[in-house]
Amino acid sequence: MTMSEADAANELMRLARQIAHHDRLYHAQDAPEISDAEYDALVRRNAELEAAFPHLIREDSPSRKVGHEVVASPLGKVTHEVRMMSLDNAFSDEEVEEFVARVRRFLALLPDADVVMTAEDKIDGLSCSLRYENGRLVRAATRGDGQVGEDVTANVAHIRDIPQVLAGDAPAVFEIRGEVYMAKADFAALNAAQEEKGEKLFANPRNAAAGSLRQKDASVTASRPLRFLAHGWGAASAVPGETQFAVMQQIAAWGVPVSPLLVRCGSVAAMVEHFGAIGTQRPGLPYDIDGVVYKVDRLDWQERLGFVAKAPRWGLARKFPAERAETVIEAIDIQVGRTGKLTPVGRLRPVLVGGVTVTNVTLHNRDEIGRLGLRVGDRIVLQRAGDVIPQVVDNLTREEPREAYQFADHCPECQSEAVAEEGEVDVRCTGGLICPAQRVERLRHFVSRGALDIEGLGEKTIRRLFELKLVRNPAEIFRLNRKRQQLMQLGKDVETSVSNLLAAIKRSRQPDAARLLFGLGIRHVGEVTSRELMKAFVTPDRLRNVVELANGSGVRAETAKRGIVGRSARRPLIERHVPSRQVLAKTRRSLRHPIVTRFLRLKAAKAKQIAAQAELSSIDGIGSVVIGSLSEFFHEQHNVAVWEELLSEVSPPPYIIDVKESEVAGKTVVFTGKLESMSRDEAKAQAESLGARVAGSVSARTDLVVAGPGAGSKIKQAQELGISVITEDQWLQIVSTAK
C-alpha cells in the first residue's frame, strides 16, 4: 500500500527524535541502547522516506547532522577548520553500483569511463583529528557534531600509534583523521580487570575506546590500551599527492598507521570482490569493523563532487549484513508524544545482539502490531541491521492461543479519547493542550537544543515547573522572573541555579526566528522547514500574515462584512457575486455604486489569497502538507493566542542569513537546457556554495537564469519577466571570481 504524505511526515518526525536520542547516547554519553546495525536501520528508513517525499525533509533530519553537539564536557571545545563529515551507507551490491553511476553522472563522464576507487575496512571506533604544524602534533580533537569537537590533545599523547613528530618532511599544516579504537583482545582484558575490581563493564570495544579517550584525567587514558588507524585528512596547507591512495601512503610513511587492507579498485566488480574478501577476514581481524569504505581516488574529482548536507558525494560506506536474535516481549507500553501520537514500545527480555544488549523496541503503531500479531509473551525475531524496518521481523508464537493485544482507545495520560484520523495509521490523543503529556512534551520541545536551547530547562525541571503550575505555555517561561520565590520550591540550595536559569531565559528574549518557529511544534514544520520559511518571510509576523491571506481570511472578512456568505453554494465565491451586465451598465459612471465596490473589494481579497498561496508554494521544500499544517495552526484561535502571547514576551530579530561573497549570494538561480562542462547536480552545488538558492522553475522571484543549449520556454518566461539570462561560460566566470 502506498504511504500517504501524512504517514510519511509522522514517521519522519518519529525517526528524527529517535535517532537524535540515540546520537546523544552514542556520541555524548558513550552509552548506546541499540546496536550500530539497528541505528543504521533507522537512518536508512529515514533516507528512504526523504527520497520518496523530499518536500517533507525536516530541519532536524538525521541526514543533515553529523555526530552530536558537544555539551557539558569537562574537556575544552575545538572548532574544526574543515568539517568532519560522516558517510552515506549502502547495504547491497546494487547500491554500490548506483554510487559509481552517480559519480559518473555528476562528473558528466561517459557510462563506461573508468572510475578508480579506494576500498578499506571501516573500523568501529571513535573519530579523531590530529593537527600537525611543521610536522609536530599541536592538537587532537574528537568529531563532535562535525563542526565542534572535544580537545583530547593531552589524552592522545598516550596512544603509541600516534607520533608526536611526523617522520620526514611534512606540510606546514596537515590534519590527519582516523579512528581511535581498542583491539578485541585488549577489550577482553580490560573488561576482565573491570569485573575483578567490581566496576562497570563496557558494552563493546568502541564504547571502551570512546570512554577511555574522553577522560578529563589523561592518566586514565594512559592506562587504557588505545590504538589509531588513519583514513583521511582535513585542513592542509599542501596535499602530498593527487590521489586518495597516494596521500594515504604518504601518511603511512610519516609513521601514522593506515589500514593494511587499503587497496585501489578499478571497477564495481573489484569493489564488490574486496568487500567479500574483507568480510571473510572479519572474524580474524584484531579490531571490530562494520563494513568497507569506498572513496573516489582522484582528488580533483573529489573536489568537484563536493558534499551534500552531512556527507561527501565521493565516499560511501558499505555495511555488513544483518544480525538477528530471538527474545520475548514482556510488556507493551504506550508513550504519548507532543503531537498526541500514541507510540507502542515493546519491553523485551534483554538479549545480546552483536555485543549490545537490547531491551526495548519501537512497535511503531497499531497497524504494525496487528500485522505481526504481537501480544505480551510472544517470542519474536529481532533484526538489528539496516535493510528492514521495523526491527521486529517475525513473531514465532503468532499461532499460540492467546488473547489479541487491544490497542489503547483512551490516552494513558489524560484519559481523553484516542482516535486515528481518516487516512492515518497513527492513533492520537484528542485531549490537545489539556493532556499533560502533550503540554509537557511541547514545552520540552520549545526549550530543546534545536529550538530556543534554554540552559537549565531540562526534562525534569520543565516537568516540575509544570506540576507547580508555574509554566503552562511557552510565554510563561519568560515571566518566571516574577516568580522567583516560587522557583525556590524546585529544591534545596537552588539560589545559584535559579539565578542562572533566569539569566538564560533573559538571554533568550531575542531568539533566532527560525528556532522560535520550530519550537512551537507545528506539525511537519521541522528545523529545515522553519529556516526555509523564515528565509522567505524574514519575520514571524510576515509569515502569519501570508498564511492567513492564503487561508482566505481577507475574503472571509469581506464577505462576512458585506453579508454575502451563504447566499449560494453552487458557484465559486467570486462568480457568485459578479454584478449582472444590466447592473454594470447602469453603474459604469459611478464606481462608488455599492454593488461595484463590493465586487472590487472581494476580487482584490481573492487576488491577495491566490498570491499568498503562490508565495507559499514557491518556497523550496514547502509542499501541501506543510502549508496545510500552517493553515490549521493559524486557523485555531487557541494557537493564535499562544503565538500572540509569546511574541509579546520575545522579540526575534529579522531573519537575515549571512551568505558568501559573490554576485549571486542571496539570489535565486534557475538552470535550464543542457550544461556542457558539468552536470546539473554539480551546477546546483556550485550555486549553493556561493550562497544562491536554486529553483526548478522561473517565477517573479527568480533573479538569474543560466541557459545551456536546448533551453526553451524558461528563457521566454525570463525575458517576459525581465530576468537576466546568461550562458554557461558566464556562469563559470561568476564561480571563478567568487571569494
The tens digit of pLDDT for each residue in 538-547 reads: 899 999 999 9
Q: List Cβ neighbours of 18 (8 Å cut-off, separation of 6 or more).
A: 42, 362
Return the H-helix or E-strand segment holding 144.
none
In the three-class reduction of DSSP (H, G, I as helix; E, B as strand; rest coil), residue 387 is classed as: coil
Q: In what order do the strands lie in the sheet with 89-90?
A: 89-90, 315-319, 289-296, 117-123, 263-265
Q: Which pLDDT value is given to residue 62?
A: 76
Name the average pLDDT for the chain: 83
CA distance 168 to 446: 54
User: Exposed (0-12), middle (13-18) or buried (19+): which is 672, by Cβ within 10 Å?
Assistant: buried
Distance of CA 126 to the CA centre of its chain: 21
In the three-class reduction of DSSP (H, G, I as helix; E, B as strand; rest coil), residue 627 is classed as: helix
pTM (predicted TM-score): 0.49
Residue 459 scores a pLDDT above 60:
yes
Return phi, psi of residue 287, to 5°: -130, 160
Q: Which pLDDT value is given to residue 576?
A: 46
Q: Which of 145-149, 207-211, 414-418, 489-493 shows the lowest mean pLDDT across its residues? A: 489-493
The grid cell for 332 is: 507493551
Mean pLDDT of 200-213: 82
In the three-class reduction of DSSP (H, G, I as helix; E, B as strand; rest coil), residue 606 is classed as: helix
Q: Which pLDDT value is given to residue 386?
A: 39
Q: In what order do the strands lie in the sheet with 379-383?
A: 356-362, 342-353, 324-336, 379-383, 392-395
When pLDDT is cut at 50, 70 and 90, the band that residue 345 belongs to is very high
Please say whether the structural domain 77-319 has been given the CATH code 3.40.50.620: no
Q: What is the identity of the amino acid at 432?
A: G
Residue 655: other Cβ atoms inside 10 A: 23
CA angle 649, 655, 658 (to 5 degrees): 140
Map grid coordinates 529517535 to a residue.
18
Contacts 24+ apart (CB under 8 A), 346-352: 346/374, 346/380, 346/392, 348/382, 351/325, 351/326, 351/327, 351/382, 352/325
| Beta-ladder partners of 392 | 382
Sign of torsion over alpha carbons 690, 696, 700, 701: negative
User: Exposed (0-12), middle (13-18) or buried (19+): which is 659, by Cβ within 10 Å?
Assistant: middle
Q: Which of 307-321, 439-453, 586-600, 667-681 shows the lowest mean pLDDT across its residues? A: 586-600
Q: How far is CA 192 from CA 204, 358, 506, in A?
A: 13, 22, 50
CA distance 540 to 474: 16
Q: Pick from 255-259, 402-406, 519-523 the range whose average pLDDT is largest.
A: 255-259
CA distance 134 to 495: 50
pLDDT digits (tens, 9 = 90+) for 640-697: 888 999 999 999 999 876 556 788 888 889 988 888 888 877 887 788 778 887 887 8
The CATH superfamily assigned to 668-737 is: BRCT domain (3.40.50.10190)
Residue 574 scores a pLDDT above 50:
no
Q: Which of 253, 210, 246 is nearest to 26 (CA)?
A: 210
Please say whether the structural domain 5-64 has been given the CATH code 1.10.287.610: yes
* Cβ pair 216, 123 in contact under 8 A: no
* Cβ pair 265, 119 in contact under 8 A: yes
When pLDDT is cut at 50, 70 and 90, the band that residue 625 belongs to is confident
Q: Which of 262, 257, 286 is nearest to 178 (CA)?
A: 257
Q: Which pLDDT value is given to residue 101?
A: 94
Give the start-to-end residue ranges of the domains of the chain. Answer: 5-64, 77-319, 432-509, 515-647, 668-737
When pLDDT is cut at 50, 70 and 90, the band that residue 76 belongs to is confident
When pLDDT is cut at 50, 70 and 90, the band that residue 407 belongs to is very high
Active site residues: 122
Residue 570 scores a pLDDT above 50:
no
* Cβ pair 254, 163 in contact under 8 A: yes
CA distance 737 to 739: 6
When pLDDT is cut at 50, 70 and 90, the band that residue 618 belongs to is confident
* Cβ pair 327, 351 in contact under 8 A: yes
pLDDT digits (tens, 9 = 90+) for 32-68: 666 666 677 788 888 888 888 888 888 778 776 654 4
Fold of 432-509: DNA polymerase; domain 1 (1.10.150)
Q: Which pLDDT value is given to residue 53?
A: 83
Q: Which pLDDT value is given to residue 98?
A: 95
| Beta-ladder partners of 379 | 328
Return phi, psi of residue 235, to 5°: -65, 140
Q: Which pLDDT value is given to residue 1?
A: 44
When pLDDT is cut at 50, 70 and 90, the band that residue 27 belongs to is low
